[in-house]
Copies of this chain bind each other. A is one copy, B any other.
Amino acid sequence: MEDCPVKYAFTVVSGKWKLQILWELNQQDMIRFNELQRRLAGISSFMLSKSLGELEQNKLIIREQYNEVPPRVEYSLTELGKAIHPALKMLGDWGTKVYNECQES
């Protein structure tokens, strides 16, 4: 979006659930829709479906659909999806510092 890669990265993972979804997928590689919904306590199937769709569009995750009965769909991270985690870790470490700093005063 526009001209700033950082902003673009933010928009890609913005939204109330995207980070958690990425986190869960990183723990498991390969997870089913309902299983994911169970782990993300509180998310509706609508929001989950929408978030997964956007992440798939941005090539962060892969959707694999098996035409069985009952239907089965599995989600997993792409290389791109895995590659964000080092950056998120750095941000997390920094976030911890900010948090501690703001508790003092």
Contact = CB atoms under 8 A, between A and B. Distances in A.
Size bracket of the A interface: 20 to 34
A60 interface: yes
A21 to B, nearest CB: 13
Contacts of A59: 98, 101-102
A26 B91 CA distance: 17
Question: Looking at A60, A86, A97, which has the most chain B CB atoms within 10 Å of its CB?
Answer: A97
A93 B5 contact: yes
Nearest to A86: B90
Interface of A: 4-10, 12, 19-20, 57-60, 80, 83-84, 86-88, 90-99, 101-102
